[in-house]
Amino acid sequence: MSPALAAVNRLYAWKIRGVRWIEIIGVLLVAAMVFSVYLAKAAAARESARISDLERQISDNGQRVRLLRAEVARLERPNRLEALSRGAGLGPVDVHRQATAESLPDLAPIPEPRPVIVAPTPAQPSAPAVEVER
Amino acid sequence: MSAHDPHAGPRPVASWGVRRFTPSWRWLAEAMWWVEHAFGRAHADARPEEDTRVRIFVILSVFSAAFVCLTLGAVHAALLTAGAGGGGSSHPNAVVRADLVDRNGALLATNIVHYGLYIDPAQVWDRPAAAAQIRRALPRVSKTRLEAALYGDRRLLVVNRLTPREKVAIHNLALGGVSFEPEDVRVQPLGESARHVIGNVDTGGVGLSAAERAFNDEIRAAGARGENFQLSIDLRVQGVLENELAAAAEATQAKGAVGIITDVQTGEVLGMASWPASNSRNLAAAATYEMGSVFKTFTVAAAIDTGRADMNTLLDASEALQIGSRRITDFHAQNKVMTLEEVYLHSSNIGTSLLATQMGPRVMRDYFGRFGLLDEAPFEFPSENPITPRDWSDSTLASLSFGYGVSVTPLQVAAAMASLTNGGRYIPLTLRKGGLPNAPVRQVVTPETSRVMLDLLRRNVVRGSGGRAEAPGLRVGGKTGSANKSVNGRYSTAHAVGTFAAVFPADGPVNARRYQILVLIDEPQTYPRTGGFVAAPAVGRIADRIAGFLGVARRADPYRTALGDRIPAFEDLEGDGR
């Protein structure tokens, strides 16, 4: 029997109260694995519940967004806007009152910087010579 | 050999009968017998411990193999087929039909969850009170349906397509036996705006008319991908067109009106309106009209393109033209020899009739065919077939030259005008954003003819009959059309059609960005009924309002300043607007 095989045999024969250590270790490992699988499954179930909850929220919000977009489109429909703005006295701007950014200097020349007038500092008023009579 | 010798024990085959089994069954039976007697055999061989070891080893091997298989399977499922579980293959935003949006993404049609209202009478306590409350919260519910459901014997649908707001109103009544079921409904939030372009969808989500029908499959495919489906329509342009068209139609007390705005370089329809909008018929595609003088544009273009005439060709309109027994006169007779330009600007029937008869039936038919005036317009909607002449006599040619004797849809004229102003390419109109891919484009006239016609159209607005279409700095060019309608086989002066077919800006190279506006007013009741008075002002206002949306800057051209002031060298020839 080779030394390696002998070592394996010895390990196999290592017992406590007639129970092989290797079996005890195996059972403990299996128990640890079962427990960890349980934990992982429970966590996954919790996550997937959360995911489906979020997905439901997303879909609900999506529906609300669609509804609000439709409402915006309804309120912004061109004939309504036109009627409202005509009612408010608005209309297309006359061409003579339109200008581009480039034409602004022609319309309103940039004013010359006005000379800074330095206000003359008033003379320190002397204390009124008021005689306080008693 | 003793009787206990397991190697020579009685074989089962002997007792079961050899003849009843096929060879494979016999082999199986022998194998089972061998396994069953393995213990006894081992004892007989005086090797009992080996027997146990063999059995343990065999069972161990079988279980190990099974667990290795399971492990491999689990690893494979966990690691290598990622993505199959969870999510699902469809897009999270998938809908049955994609939202229909305009070219800038403004919503035209969408799907909204509505609710069907169901009542289970067994759970309703006070039926008269419930009926009264529901009717107060939802006045549109049918009384008979509601009572049939409340006093019936099973759960019944009372009303469907409840909007979310109506659902909340009913829900807040807190009645027993009332329940809702969601249903997907197509809504057009714009109401009557652009309804002739968008169209309708049935309850099963299949497009019934207009764009919903034309692009049905693509809209559904885009919906499955969670995307929008874009049309070429620009809602701002569409809105201006509808509002100005309605204003013009109401001001002239017209029976109907049509407006079309297209991009002449791509064939995209930016706006299409049919008034009154309450009429489900789209007059742009489903009605034909004799357009009158608008057709002089096509006659003159053909004459220039064939090389028969140029702007300075002289035509004798000094007296009425006699063709057989028919006398062709001018509305505003000038009674003089005119150049081709004057013929066009004065809208002379005599002049264009002369051109048409000189060109002859073959050339006229060829050009009108290429302008698409003789066939149904190629478009996404089915449209009305034009009414084309039966014979091509000189009298017919004369009529055709100024727009009688042929009834066409406004779509056909819009496409033909576009082809004349984009360098001579006939591009089918489309509602698809970006234009039709692989559109069948045909050359109608040369780019030089197109350039000449653009200038002529512009001059017609500056000096001719289209003056009321002028929009300051936008270089509008166009041709008026005024035709009497045939009523009971006779042309009636009381029933007219006034048209204005315009392009802007008319200057610049033939392939520059350019837009075509067609406005047609059917049976205006105000006087004068000519296109220059009923349709041209609307075109001017539309161009003025949409130029900003389309990015057309106001600029001066040889005829007008950027602010629309006259450059004195050019003045109106006359202001009759015919």
Whether B249 and chain A come into contact, CB under 8 Å, resolves to no
The runs of H, that is alpha helices, within B107-225 are 127-137, 143-150, 164-171, 195-198, 210-214, 216-224
Given B199, B230, B261, the domain boundary residue is B230
In a domain, B511, yes or no: yes
Residue B297's alpha-carbon distances to A11, B190, B460, B502, in angstroms, are: 107, 37, 11, 11
Which residues of chain A are modeled with pLDDT < 50? Answer: 132-134
In a domain, B70, yes or no: no
pLDDT tens per residue across span B230-282: 999 999 999 999 999 999 999 999 999 999 999 999 999 999 999 898 888 99
Residue A23 within any structural domain of the chain: yes
Q: Looking at the partner chain, which of A58, A78, A98 has a beta carbon nearest the beta carbon of B193?
A: A78
Query: Do the domain assignments include residue B571?
Result: no
Residues of chain B with pLDDT > 90: what percent?
53
Mark whether B165 and B270 lie in a shared domain.
Answer: no
Hey, are the CB atoms on A79 and B92 less than 8 Å from each other?
no
Q: Does B286 touch chain A (CB under 8 A)?
A: no
Residues B73, A36 contacting (CB under 8 angstroms): no
The reported pLDDT for the residue numbered B164 is 85
Candidates B90, B110, B195: best to mutate against A (most CBs of A within 10 A) is: B110
Would you say the C-alpha torsion B341, B344, B349, B354 has a positive or negative sign? Answer: positive
Counted across chains A and B, CB pairs separated by less than 8 A come out at 69
User: Looking at the domain assignment, is residue B94 inside a domain?
Assistant: no
Q: What are phi and psi of B275, to 5 degrees?
A: -115, 140
Helix (H) or strand (E) holding B116: strand B107-119
pLDDT of residue B21: 66
CB-nearest partner of A96 from B236, B553, B563: B563
Interacting residues of B349 by C-beta distance below 8 A, sequence separation 6+: B321, B328, B329, B330, B331, B398, B401, B402
- What per-residue confidence (pLDDT) applies to B152? 87
Q: Is A79 at the interface with chain B, CB within 8 A?
A: yes
Nearest CB to A62 within list B93, B472, B553: B93
pLDDT value of residue B293 = 92
In a domain? residue B576: no
Residues of A in contact with B473 (CB under 8 A): 95
Rounded mean pLDDT, B11-37: 72
Q: Would you say B170 and B115 are in contact if contact means Cβ atoms under 8 Å apart? A: no
Confidence of residue B1 (pLDDT cuts 50, 70, 90): very low
Answer left, alpha or beta for residue B271, where phi above 0 means left and psi between -120 and 50 means alpha.
Answer: beta
Q: Who wins on pLDDT, B88 or B517?
A: B517
Q: Which helix (H) or strand (E) holds B100?
A: strand B100-101
CATH code of B258's domain = 3.40.710.10
Q: What percentage of residues in chain B have a pLDDT greater than 70? A: 91
Among B193, B232, B293, B383, the active-site one is B293
- The number of folded domains in chain B is 3
Which of B101, B112, B244, B250 would you mutate first to test chain A, the one with the most A CBs within 10 A? B112
Q: Please answer yes or no on whether A77 and B189 come within 8 Å at the CB atom.
A: yes
Q: Is B272 found in the same domain as B145?
A: no
The average pLDDT across B534-549 equals 94
Residue range(s) defining the domain that contains residue B305: 238-550
Contact of A117 with chain B, judged by CB distance below 8 Å, is answered with: no
Quote ipTM for the complex: 0.74
User: Hey, is the C-beta of B561 within 8 angstroms of any chain A C-beta?
Assistant: no
pLDDT value for B564: 82
With a cut of 50, say whether residue B4 has pLDDT above it.
no
**C-beta separation of B578 from B333 below 8 A:** no
Cβ distance of A82 and B239 shorter than 8 Å? yes
Split at pLDDT 50, 70, 90, the class of B409 is: very high
Mark whether B200 and B290 lie in a shared domain.
no
Q: Which residue range(s) make up the domain with A13?
A: 3-87
Q: Do B190 and A73 touch (CB under 8 A)?
A: yes
B361 within domain boundaries = yes
Q: Is residue B517 helix, strand or coil? A: strand
Q: Which of B538 and B576 is assigned the larger pLDDT?
A: B538
Mean pLDDT, chain B, as a whole number? 87
In this structure, is residue B207 part of a structural domain? Answer: yes
Token pair, residue B215, equals 């692009």
d(CA B460, CA B222): 46
Q: How many domains does chain A have?
A: 1
In a domain, A114, yes or no: no
B179 classed as catalytic: no
**Is A27 inside any structural domain?**
yes
Q: Taking CB atoms and an 8 Å limit, are B544 and A73 in contact across chains?
A: no
Residue B453's nearest CA partner among B574, B566, B303, B571 is B303
The answer on B283 and B187 residing in a single domain is no
